[in-house]
Chains A and B, each alone.
Chain A
Amino acid sequence: MATIGYSAILLTFVVSLWAVLGFVIAHSRGYKELSESALRAVQAAAALVTLASLSLIYLLLKRDFSVDYVFRYTSTALPPLYAFSAFWAGQEGSLLLWLWLLSILTLLASLNLGREDEAVQDYALAALAGIEAFFALVLALVSNPFAFSLRFHSEGLGLNPLLENFSMVIHPPTVFIGYAGLAIPFAYALAYLLAGKPLEDWIKKVRPWAIVAWAFLGAGIIIGGWWAYIELGWGGYWAWDPVENSSLIPWLTATAFLHSAVVAERRHYLKGWSFLLITLTFLLCLFATFVTRSGIIKSVHAFAQSPLGFYFVAFIAIWALLTGFVAFKNRGSFASKKVESALLSRDTAFYYLNWLFFGEALVLLLGILFPTFSSTFQGQEASIDVSFYHQTFMPLAAITVLLLGLCVSLGWGTTSAKALRRALIPVGSALLGIVVPIALGERSLFPILSWGTVGFAAAGVIQELARGVREFIRKRRLIPRPYGGYLVHAGIVLLALGVIGSSFYKAETLVSLKPGETAEIGNYVLKYVNFQHQSLPTKERFLAQVEVYKDSRFLGQIRPEKNFHFNVEQWVSEIGLRSTPAEDLYLIFIDLDEDGTASFQIQVNPMVFWIWVGGGLMVLGAVLALWPEGGKEWKS
């Protein structure tokens, strides 16, 4: 089976390369019949990669330890779901997953449901086949999931216990669908330029692709944060770790692209920006894959060093040069229509939005690369701590959220005095956001400014939604597309609320309790009843029973665990959590003494709940935004 898988990967490389050559020759030399053959090669590549992936799944489920990858990430005791998810537990399988998803998406694109122009279609498929060829080459040469073990093993090492969590089953594929999906708008961007077609049509074509991929990437990031919160047991959801940041960067540039694309489609400028942003997004997706899977970056969850870096850097450089060259040769396509727009207009807001997202992405990228830079140029390795991101990323994010609250008051091109008066409501709400916390005793500057910002944005979002409802009543016709955007914005506001609550108002205490003793935090009283012990085949399991009381009312029991996993010979904690919209009670079981004394870290994390709700709302918004038509009728 391993041989079949490996052969399929080799063949994928060959047919993908053939597809690239076939499409290019078909159009540059005029051998139209070659394009038919290249199209079959694209379909064959999808079939071959699927075969390779199914082989790996089969080997994993069968626990065939003669294959090194299966040996390293599974064991006989591992439940089938996690054996299946071990597919993407390591570098080799993750790259295969990337390729698999890309080949399926490429197959979807090749069906040409949009009745695309032949040249455009062929160039786009050529670009996608080129990306597939790269991944197949890497899998064949440096990162082979089908490599045999050098020794006989009767048992596998098993999955890292931290990855045995349902969110880790779905987080990597969700992110990878985002990455692979963002390759499609990029490929079509090149194709429209090469075929000399107007970029406005490109945007109409790729908008659904970009929105779906953007939503998947965003959902994947949120699920990753959820996993960190539930499984890593430090009470946070975002550690500004290079691996996390690297997935956020292409999401930011993709968000900028989606906004820029609106302007390009309706107002016929920012076309160059849109093209640049989607190119950067694609290259940054490659970079993120490389960061996560190569280990050049010092990170808690980066993988071991490998020669992968060379291949990725070279590939990113090739695409950057190629795209730059194509863009330069066809620079006429970026010509904008002359538009008159006042300084105070939605146009200005969108223009600055591009710079803001661009700046945010740049800051994160700098943070990731800084240790590498400093060891290269200063001879001494330095690292950056979280305060760097607080100082640079957060102000930019705050201004972005402010703009969100303003956009409903601004019109395209020019803003009428009447429209501008609408902005009085967000301003009032911002003042309220500042005054109320001060009245309640808040004295620090950053929380106060943050509440003001969110107050401003929240009022703007409510105005947007209210206007949508009024419009619906007036026209008696529902046009879902704009509501998508409103919902995404509402999601952002909720997410911001959650971030503010949990960053500024977190309470934390460390306690050591004998059975029957209690501890207090905020309004809560926690009573440590006792512990239970179970011996399981894979682990020794210790459960603490803790009763939770609030204002002397019994709320229930939570049971954090501390387990010794035999495969990694290590203790792994499972947190106890009681989540409510107002706040989470978060309990980490730190230590258990022989006499039954247990130590706990207890946290009260306010409003974390809204981060997940906000994330869900953004995905829902993306679904609505996919609704066809309607966009034209929406004028302000």
Chain B
Amino acid sequence: MKSRKEFKEIYLRAIKPKLVRFERARNKMRRQIFLLAIASFVANIYVVHFVLGITEALFSILPAFLVSVTFGSYKYWAFRREFKNKLIAKVFELAFPDFTYRPNGVDEVGDSGGALEVLKDFTNSKIGNLSQMAEFNRTSLFLSESNTFRYEDEISGKLGKTDVCVSEVFAKRVTGSGKNRRVENIFSGLFFKLDFHKNFSQHTVIRPDFAERFLGGLIGNKLQKMGSSFSNLKLVRMEDPRFEKLFAVYSSDQNEARYLITPKLMEKFVELQKSNKGRVSCAFFEQKFYIAISSRKNRFEPSFFGSVLPFADLKDIYEVLELLQRLVEEFELNTRLWSKE
């Protein structure tokens, strides 16, 4: 992978000139939205007050507001689509050619940017999200199952012998409606899917441990045991106290859990958690090693209000790839000492 300095050079030489064009397009989009909003408000007031003679304040602005929001959303979605499909994809082509970038985790439709394609793209991303949601839920990384899910900015490729994939995930669980509507934020952040260097057939998860951290070893452990008694994933106690304080391991086979989670791997998890502000969770499932690192940041998005020119926004791409590489190196995923090729 290219160094940070090399990436900055590529940014200055080849990406910044393209960003200038996008900055112009962003300004144009904002002007169009602003003008349409003004025009629709004026037309709205004229029609409602002078033609129809209605004096209620709600009718004076509501239609114009709805028109402006719909037009604004459509324009921004189209701009965002262009930004991701053309600019971010170009960044990968120039700086990280070994990786594939898919903005919505599905193969894109055409390239013309017409209204129909924007709509198709929107529908495709929703369909793609459904299959990704099923996979995310199957990992049992979190106790609640998500039913409102967004999957975007997928980067996939190979680092050495290891297949890697990282994406942004926003998972929620929405229940009830009206006044009883409840939204539970399950996870938002980076979701890694990596090839593991050992074969395994069972299901093991590592979740952040709140019970033991806040209630102490004895009570926390009892609570964890009670929590896992109805699931097929049972609590597995590990030997490293530093690891146990931060994480709880659940598995359908405790021997396999210990085969996968060696003392060295536990140390690496402690280091990973300490060096990240977000919560770290992990699952070993269907021959894949999933890592979820929570974050409040929504990466790879073009700004609506601010300029798209600064390097800081593109730096996110580099930082995600750096983290990906770090995970492969720290967990020694390219080391094939075991029977897996």
Are both chains from one complex?
no
B residues sitting closer than 8 Å to A (CB atoms) are none
A residues sitting closer than 8 Å to B (CB atoms) are none
